[in-house]
Chain A
Amino acid sequence: MHLYSGRARTIESVVGVLILLIMIATAVGIYIISRDYNMARFGVSSPQESQGDFTSVGKAETYNNDNLYEKIDGKAPMYQEAGFVKLDTQRFAAKSNSELGFELYIYDMNNAKNAFSVYSRQKRTDATDLNDLGTSAFGYVAGNAICISLGKNYIEMIGSAESNELVDGMKGIAKDLSAKFKPTDKDKIVELGYFPEGTVAGSWKLQIDNAFGFDGLTDAYSATYKIGGKGVSIFFSKRKNADEAKTVAKNYYDFLITNGGKVVTVDSEILKSAGGSVVDFYGAFEIVFPAGVFVGGVHEADNKQAAEKGAEVLIDQLKKVTGEIGG
């Protein structure tokens, strides 16, 4: 039974409420302070190197021909044979969720053809093409990764997870990068325009040398050509002149036969008159022919008829191109 006056009780309550209010204000204040952070002070990242919704993590690293293997180990020779100059890498983490991030690889490949070559040869089969990167730029999304061929640079962004949020963020950065490393006219790979109509866009491959295992076949462009819903792989390589094209075609044919290929009769008249041959190479059909200044052919077709059909279209096309560019 308390006898304190009403006044004393009022003061007690008022003081109590005031203290609680101060306490709440403190809590709110601390929360507000906590939201304004800069992780760079812990050395975790530096904001000036942020990219869109991502901040860089750790240091940027550069690799050259001597130490490229430290970063990509066994894959190094592939880049080095294609004219590799240097590789810059940097990790990034999403600002919203540091668990999500990607590593950016920028390979300087010296020129656009080299870059396109390593790009096209590694292109994933389940890739979705990125078509908004501008002219002479190629790119695709494959699961967690985005790969781009951009002028002399081949760029990979390897995401830490297969997340739509992350891929969308990386797509944004891909666009930024395509603006930053905008390809010039000389980076245009004109040969890609030589493929006949019906070629699957984005299926191009460029092998700088040693194409299909034959070291005499250099700068070979290949692509998938659609015939009746099926695809055959057609290829061509531009030579100095028609004579050289004939020699290379003959050498490639010999290479196939030497390594166990069986000669098959040619059904197509067009192919026959072009001097082409069909070889059964361990169950797959290989076609090779000279056409103008080009060596052309079909690679690893499982249907002879479709292969010859594709060859016919390609012969026609390559002769036309030879006429256009002069040879």
Chain B
Amino acid sequence: MKITTVRRINQLFFFALFVWFCIVATVGNKFWQIRNWPINWILQFDPLVALGTIVSTRKFYGPLHCALGVVILTIIFGRFFCGWICPFGAIHQFVGYIGNRGKKVAEKIRLNIYRKAQCVKYLILVFFLGMAAFPSLASSLQTGLLDPIPLLTRSFQLVLLPIFDRGAYLTSVNARYYEFGWLIFAVFATAVLLNLVIPRFYCRFICPLGAFLGIISRFSIWRIGKTKSECINCKICEKACEGGCEPSGNIKIAECVLCFNCRDDCKHDLIAYQTVPSLAGETQVDVSRRGVVLSFVSGVVAAPAIRLSGKVASNWYTGVVRPPGALAEPEFLKRCLKCGQCMRVCPTNVIQPAGIEGGLEGLWSPILNNRIGSSGCQLNCVACGQVCPTSAIRPITLDEKHGLGEFASAGPIKLGTAFVDQGRCLPWSMDKPCIVCQENCPVSPKAIFTKDVFTTVRDGVVSIKQITGSTIEIERGIPADKFRTGDYYVLFEDGSRCKISSNTATSVGISEGKVPASAGKIEIQVRLQKPCVDIEKCIGCGVCEHECPVSGKRAIRVTAEGETRSKDRRLLL
């Protein structure tokens, strides 16, 4: 069996596995739903996820230990991950293959030559690590923007799956919406289409994970190389070279992705996977020390430069409401990969990829948008923390979320606080009865209470013409049937009040209470229940905001004030 065949099967397997894990990231216990599928598995053995979080937090988060195995195997065998496992690599390889199928051999060889620009990915890696390295300046983990596994996870979970599942809804109950999905898609599509220019463009020039694996493959025991220093120099070995590592000449081991195509293609069997370096010699990738230092320093400076916005300090944006269990903002930004797993698993679709409202570094990080999705954050759901691969959202229990049991002293986790916009609220500003937010508040006892008041409606003072039984005929015309909803009352001059059960243009009928004997004028009043938020009870789940009938800019909105994850945003003692 040819090793290249085995490799393709392997790539197909891991790609299928990746897609499967994307599909099953739906809360539910059917076999095609989440149950205990290790949906973060591929993210967890991505060594750049581990490296990035280690650099930013100085800690090696337990569930990422699989990455250690990949690192060790890479040190021994070389960049097998890129050529054999990476699902993004598999896509690039496939698209590159399709895109260049008909080309002449010489053209293919020309496409796969080693280019100096392949050093760029090392600079990208160093830049990102620089951004994460110094918490005292500002540490921000941005590897997830270009790390292929988070990038692909994000692209599948938030873009491709919702597109292809539209109408079928196998992976969700309703259509899913992701506000910055188009940008995620643009990045993904660009990366894929670049294969038509140069095969594996992303892997060769951009991928920071490939760069990291390239660096650690430097001492690999086994390596691709020529078994003789001289050959006829047909360069046919580079016809399908995936890494662009120049196996025909001085091979660049750091660029070799172990595709074995050169070994397969060499008509003279002069290429082997062996313990001796290529007899034609090896050279290092052309990365200047100056470039590395410059990139690193740029990264180190870029992080605090981004923080100049104050978005992680006093100028924090109130709309950045993070999912339950999210760490305090500086710690959160050290861990979030922007992989989108939380947004995908969220049963209500309320978790969204952010734009740059929370600062440039918060791009695609999870925030709650109560206008999207089927409801706010559900009281009895902690799925987002369970799927977060780096614990940027901690895996909390329901007890912790509700502040029960051992968490009683800490109280419930608050995502923010609901504020009533009295200028937009129907009972507050428009004399229209409405208690939708109060009715939908899931907290017990309810965090929304109402202040009941009677207000005379516009042009509601009318003179009585005649009283017959429980019907009062009046002088001036009023809108027929408008006041019979049970919310309207008649206020008599003696101060007594009766509920209106029916009304015509010239009369009102009373259902409860007694009509006073002498009454010159009446006032038609509406009973309003004006919603107020009890900030000690409100957990910021956003159900009220979601349900508010003022459907544009809601009349009750949750903002991050009072969130428990950061002390400086609390409202109460």
Asked if chains A and B are in direct contact (CB within 8 A), the reply is yes
Note all chain A residues with C-beta closer than 8 A to B382: 41-43
Cα separation A275 to B374 with both chains bound (whole Å) = 67
Q: From B2-10, B93-101, B105-113, B299-307, give the one contacting chain A.
A: B2-10
Is A39 a contact partner of B9 (Cβ separation < 8 A)? no
A227, CB-defined interface residue at 8 Å:
no
Q: Using a CB-CB cutoff of 8 Å, which residues 27-67 of chain A contact chain B?
A: 27, 30, 33-44, 46, 58-59
State whether B269 touches A2 (Cβ < 8 A). yes
A42's nearest neighbour on chain B, judged by CB, is B383
Measured between alpha carbons, how far is A3 from B27 in the docked complex, in Å? Answer: 55
Q: Distance in Å from the Cβ of A58 to the closest Cβ of chain B?
A: 5
> Can you show 21 pairs from A to B with CB atoms below 8 A apart?
A13-B1, A15-B3, A20-B10, A23-B9, A30-B37, A30-B38, A33-B36, A33-B38, A34-B24, A34-B31, A37-B35, A37-B36, A39-B35, A40-B398, A42-B34, A43-B383, A43-B398, A59-B379, A95-B29, A98-B28, A98-B30
Cross-chain contact B6 with A20 (CB below 8 angstroms): yes
Decide if A134 is an interface residue (CB 8 Å cutoff).
no
The number of chain B residues touching the other chain, given as a range, is 35 or more
B449 adjacent to chain A (CB < 8 Å): no
Interface mask (B386-402 → A, CB under 8 Å = 1, otherwise 0): 10000000010110010
Cβ–Cβ < 8 Å partners of B269 in chain A? 2-4
CB atoms of A16 and B1 under 8 A apart: yes
Contact A12 B3 (CB under 8 A): yes
A1-B267, A98-B29 known; A27 vs B38 contact (CB < 8 Å): no
Judge if B268 is at the interface, Cβ distance under 8 Å. Answer: yes
Please give the distance in Å from B236's CB to the nearest CB on chain A. Answer: 13
B316 at the interface (CB under 8 A from A): no
Asked if A59 meets B30 with Cβ closer than 8 Å, knowing A23-B10, A43-B401, the reply is no
Residues on the B chain within 8 Å of A39, using CB: 29, 35
Contacts of A27 in B (CB 8 A): 13, 17
Binary interface encoding of chain B residues 371-414 relative to chain A, with 1 for a CB under 8 A from any of its CBs, else 0: 00000001111110010000000010110010000000000000
Q: Is B41 among interface residues, defined by CB-CB distance under 8 A?
A: yes
What per-residue 1/0 map shows which CB atoms of B452-495 lie under 8 Å from chain A? 00000000000000000000000000000000000000000000
Q: Please, how many angstroms separate the alpha-carbon atoms of A168 and B444 in the complex?
A: 34
Per-position contact with A for B7-27: 1 when CB-CB < 8 Å, else 0? 001100100010000001001
A19 to B398, CA, bound (A): 42
Q: Indicate whether A17 reaches chain B with its CB closer than 8 angstroms.
A: yes
Q: Which residues of B have CB within 8 Å of A12? A: 1-3
Partner of A44, one of B1, B9, B27: B27
Main SS of chain A's interface residues?
helix
Q: In the complex, A1 Cα to B2 Cα: how many Å? A: 14
**Count of chain A residues near B, Cβ 8 A:** 32
Select one of B5, B6, B381 contacting A42, CB under 8 A: B381
B268 surroundings in chain A (CB, below 8 A): 3
Given contacts A8-B272, A12-B1, A42-B27, 20 further A-B contacts (CB under 8 A): A1-B267, A3-B268, A16-B1, A19-B10, A20-B6, A20-B9, A27-B17, A30-B41, A34-B37, A35-B35, A37-B35, A39-B35, A41-B397, A42-B386, A43-B381, A44-B27, A46-B398, A58-B380, A59-B379, A98-B29
Q: Can you name the residue of chain B whose Cβ is closest to the Cβ of A43? A: B382
* In the complex, residue of chain B having the shortest beta-carbon distance to the beta carbon of A46: B398
Do residues B2 and A16 form an inter-chain contact, with CB atoms below 8 A?
yes
Closest Cβ of chain B: how far from A309's Cβ, in Å? 47
CA distance A27 to B14 in the complex (A): 10
Which of A2, A8, A36 has the most CB atoms of chain B within a 10 A radius of its CB? A2
Find out whether the CB atom of A37 lies under 8 angstroms from the CB atom of B10. Answer: no
Closest beta carbon of chain B to A90's beta carbon, Å: 12
Bound together, the chains give a CA A95 to CA B28 distance in angstroms of 11
CB nearest neighbor in A for B272? A8
Per the bound structure, the CA–CA distance linking A15 and B28 in Å amounts to: 39
Closest to A93 in B: B29
6 smallest beta-carbon distances between A and B, as pairs: A37-B35, A37-B36, A16-B6, A43-B382, A16-B1, A42-B383
- Chain A residues lying within 8 Å of B381, measured Cβ to Cβ, are 42-44
**Chain B's nearest CB lies how many Å from the CB of A57?**
8
- Rounded to whole angstroms, the CA-CA distance of A238 and B2 in the bound complex is 94
Q: How far is the CB of A39 from chain B (nearest CB, A)?
A: 5
Most buried by A among B2, B29, B37, B401: B29
Q: How far is the CA of A12 from the CA of B269 in the complex (A)?
A: 14
- CA gap between A7 and B269 in the complex, in Å: 14
Enumerate B350-378 residues with CB–CB distance to A below 8 Å. Answer: 378
Q: Which residue of B lies closest to A23 (CB)?
A: B13
Closest approach, in angstroms, between the C-beta of A100 and any C-beta of chain B? 12
**Residues of chain A with a CB closer than 8 A to B6's CB:** 15-16, 19-20
